[in-house]
Amino acid sequence: MRRFKIGLFLWAGLLCRAETKEADARPNILMIISDDQGYGDFSCFGNPILKTPNLDRLKEQSVYVKTLITTPLCSPTRACVMTGRFCYRTGVWDTYLGRQSMASDEITLAEMLKAAGYRTALFGKWHLGDAHPFRPENQGFQEVWFDNNQRFDGTFCYSGPDGRRDVPIKGFQDDAIFDRAIDYVTRTNNQPFFMYVASKLPHDIEGPMVPEENRLKYLEAVRATPCLGDGDAEVYGMVDRLDSNIGRLLDALDRSGKKDQTLVVFFSDNGAMRNNPKLKYGDRYNCGLRGKKGTIYNGGIVSPMFVRYPRELKAGTVVEAPVCVMDLFPTLADYSGGSLPADRVLDGVNIRSLLQGQADSIGERTICMQQDRRPAVEGDKPRRWNNGCIWQGNWKLVDGKELYRMDTDREEKNDLSAEFPERVAALRKAYSLWFDEVSSERGFGPLPYEVSSEKLVLENGAHPPGGWRMFAPEDVTCKISLREGEPYRKPDGLCRMYMDGKLIFEQAVDAAKGIDIPPVVFKKGDHRFDVFIEVVPSVSKVGYGLVNPGFIYLDIEPLKK
């Protein structure tokens, strides 16, 4: 079915391209996404400490979309961007437990633009499935450099015309992401390109997050601000480094002579990270917006968006009307001459007229957002009005009970639900219709990985209870390897492996030699596969109600016949 749908889709795209007089009349498309950058993490929006000269310059040269509605979390937003559809329709509704893998039959921006004659490339974060068939190269990207969630001296997973391999990286990984993006911009080719550059900054991790020079630049000012902690200097250092890298990329675009013919889109995937005493994060500046990442308030789901296209768009134009991340798909289809898929619902609308300043709004739109995170033991089906909202015209209803006017109360301070019960009732009804529709299109359980000819690399710290869902199109014998885990240094660890609920391997961990796991046969069909290291006297707990499996990565490598 997927081949049939994509075949029709590609044929429509080729016809569309044939009708285009000149391929180079269409813009190149450069999309830059930051990670957990709040509305207050820009000097142009009044941050008293942070300096972002390159992002400020981009804003001045762009159409400024004041209210871009995202989801509260990373993977759901990226699924919306990639498909033009609300994430529930795509199989994505969280960032772990298999809930982050986007169904392979979704048609992505990269697939749509590739069919329209564009070169496609991804540099940085994907987070919509890191193993076959969910990887970016399975979803339309011809050249891919995506990272392994490390910041320094890590590796890139590369995929391109010359194959797929892991590439060691020395130094700061975000610099390497932009180095490769700059190289891509400077290559000469008559084809227009779509380049998706997804930074990991300023998302937090434990350990060094940014070169020391960037952190020290803000440490004194942070310590002089009572509501902040030392960790905020690291956050501001990350934004500082991001700003510098974006400046390098935009300068390279200018030098290449492609500035005027390139449509640049910049935004953040969601709001700023919450206060975190462990990482010494305080209550940093957020433009007065309520809430942060993970919440459905504006501080969690509203990002500024800058759109620069000198050939068409007037710098300094401000779009006041709310738009959402799903709107990028149909809008970029219009700019590229690409074909919209006709066999599925799109939730986004074309906002080109707003960007051009030819319209103030696109009617009284209804935009709903939700992100219902919960531990695995609570199941895989999202719940109605659990961290959800509906935005209709100037009204926003939060969790079915708090009512705010967005034209006069962007900070969500004055709940008007008691004054306008009819409005609350109408919005609740509209939300229920939306929720029923987007929740019924696709199931919410984790999607199966395919065990075939390609090596699978799975992150075991975020896998579903009972193991991963696997599908083998035929009998496959695989080598199993475990990598990177504290229990390897503990002599009392016990490795256990299960296939479809049955114990198939058990061995004590040798602290010096590791674990010698025999090949495993996946019979043709569906399976549940699980492996973990049990540490005596108890298995340690990690976040979100998970149990530490004793290692980080599981490699499943098919053996040659």
- DSSP state string for 106-168: SPPHHHHHHHTT-EEEEEE---S-SSTTSSGGGTT-SEEEEE-S-SBS-EEEEEETTEEEEEE
398 with 536, same domain: the answer is no
Q: Average the pLDDT over 520-536 and give the result.
A: 85
551 or 301, greater pLDDT: 301
Is pLDDT of 148 > 80?
A: no
Name the pairing type of β-strands 163-168 and 318-319: unpaired
Q: For residues 534 and 348, what is the distance between their CA atoms, to the nearest angstrom?
A: 46
Lowest mean pLDDT among 80-84, 125-129, 192-196: 125-129
Contact at 8 Å (CB) between 27 and 195?
no
304 with 331, same domain: the answer is yes
Q: For residues 329 and 344, what is the distance between their CA atoms, to the nearest angstrom?
A: 13
Q: What is the pLDDT of residue 344?
A: 94
Most confident of 69-83, 137-151, 164-178, 473-487: 69-83
Is pLDDT of 209 > 80?
A: no
Q: Average the pLDDT over 446-471 and give the result.
A: 80
Is pLDDT of 235 > 90?
A: yes
User: Cα 410 to the chain's mean position, in Å?
Assistant: 25
334 or 17, greater pLDDT: 334
239 with 346, same domain: the answer is yes
Q: Average the pLDDT over 269-278 and give the result.
A: 83
- Written in H, E and C, the secondary structure of 371-416 is CCCCCHHHCCCCCCCCCEEEEECCEEEECCCEEEECCCCCCCCCCC
Q: What is the CATH number of the domain that holds 435?
A: 3.30.1120.10
105 with 240, same domain: the answer is yes
Q: For residues 58 and 236, what is the distance between their CA atoms, to the nearest angstrom?
A: 19
Q: Average the pLDDT over 110-114 and give the result.
A: 98
Residue carrying structure tokens 């009572």: 226
What range defines the domain where residue 90 resides? 2-17+32-118+186-355
Residue of 266, 299, 300, 324 lying closest to 63 (CA atoms): 266
Residue of 269, 268, 242, 298 lying closest to 95 (CA atoms): 269
Contact at 8 Å (CB) between 237 and 214?
yes
Q: What is the pLDDT of residue 552?
A: 62
Q: Does 360 reside within a domain?
A: no
Backbone angles phi, psi at 143, to 5 degrees: -125, 130
Residue carrying structure tokens 């020079």: 213
Q: What is the pLDDT of residue 23?
A: 47
Q: Does 418 reside within a domain?
A: yes
Q: Does 323 reside within a domain?
A: yes
Lowest mean pLDDT among 7-21, 81-95, 150-164, 317-331: 7-21
6 with 95, same domain: the answer is yes
349 with 384, same domain: the answer is no
Q: What is the pLDDT of residue 486?
A: 43
DSSP 514: B
427 with 293, same domain: the answer is no
Q: What is the pLDDT of residues 165-205, one digit of tens each?
A: 778 888 888 999 999 999 999 986 789 999 999 999 999 87
Q: What is the pLDDT of residue 9?
A: 54
Q: Does 488 reside within a domain?
A: yes
Most confident of 5-19, 211-225, 532-546: 211-225
Q: Average the pLDDT over 48-61 and give the result.
A: 98
Q: For residues 268 and 390, what is the distance between their CA atoms, to the nearest angstrom?
A: 21
Residue 25 CB neighbour total at 10 angstroms: 11
Is pLDDT of 353 > 90?
A: yes
Among 390, 412, 440, residue at a domain's last position: 440
436 with 500, same domain: the answer is no
Among 355, 384, 406, residue at a domain's last position: 355
DSSP 465: T
Q: For residues 34 and 30, what is the distance between their CA atoms, to the nearest angstrom?
A: 13
Buried residues in 535-557 as b, exposed as e (16+ CB within 10 A): beeebeeeeeebebbbbbbbebe
150 or 99, greater pLDDT: 99
Spatial neighbors of 525 by CB under 8 A, at least 6 apart, are 471, 472
Is pLDDT of 18 > 60?
A: no
**CA distances, 289 to each of 180, 228, 272, 286 (Å):** 35, 17, 11, 6
Backbone angles phi, psi at 362, to 5 degrees: -115, 65
Q: Does 79 reside within a domain?
A: yes
Contact at 8 Å (CB) between 84 and 329?
yes
333 with 232, same domain: the answer is yes
Confidence of residue 560 (pLDDT cuts 50, 70, 90): confident
With pLDDT > 70 as the criterion, what percentage of the chain qualifies? Answer: 87
Q: What is the CATH number of the domain that holds 345?
A: 3.40.720.10
Residues 500, 504, 506, 509, CA torsion sign:
negative
Confidence of residue 1 (pLDDT cuts 50, 70, 90): very low
Backbone angles phi, psi at 309, to 5 degrees: -155, 85
Q: Average the pLDDT over 389-408 and give the result.
A: 97
Q: For residues 452 and 477, what is the distance between their CA atoms, to the nearest angstrom?
A: 9
Confidence of residue 24 (pLDDT cuts 50, 70, 90): low
Q: Average the pLDDT over 53-68 and give the result.
A: 99
Q: What is the pLDDT of residue 3?
A: 40
Residues 466, 471, 476, 479, CA torsion sign:
negative
290 with 404, same domain: the answer is no
Q: Does 137 reside within a domain?
A: no
407 with 513, same domain: the answer is no
Our count of domains for the chain comes to 3
Buried residues in 245-262 as b, exposed as e (16+ CB within 10 A): bbbbbbebbeeeebbebb
Q: What is the CATH number of the domain that holds 530?
A: 2.60.120
Among 329, 355, 381, residue at a domain's last position: 355
Is pLDDT of 28 > 50?
A: yes
Q: Does 515 reside within a domain?
A: yes
Name the pairing type of β-strands 402-405 and 395-398: antiparallel
Q: What is the pLDDT of residues 236-272, one digit of tens each?
A: 999 999 999 999 999 999 999 999 999 999 999 999 9
322 or 24, greater pLDDT: 322
**CA distances, 89 to each of 323, 467, 500 (Å):** 19, 24, 28
Averaged confidence pLDDT in the chain? 87
Q: Average the pLDDT over 92-115 and give the result.
A: 90
92 with 218, same domain: the answer is yes
State if pTM tops 0.75: yes
Q: Does 141 reside within a domain?
A: no
Q: What is the pLDDT of residue 463?
A: 65
Residue of 183, 164, 55, 190 lying closest to 123 (CA atoms): 183
Q: Average the pLDDT over 288-292 and give the result.
A: 95
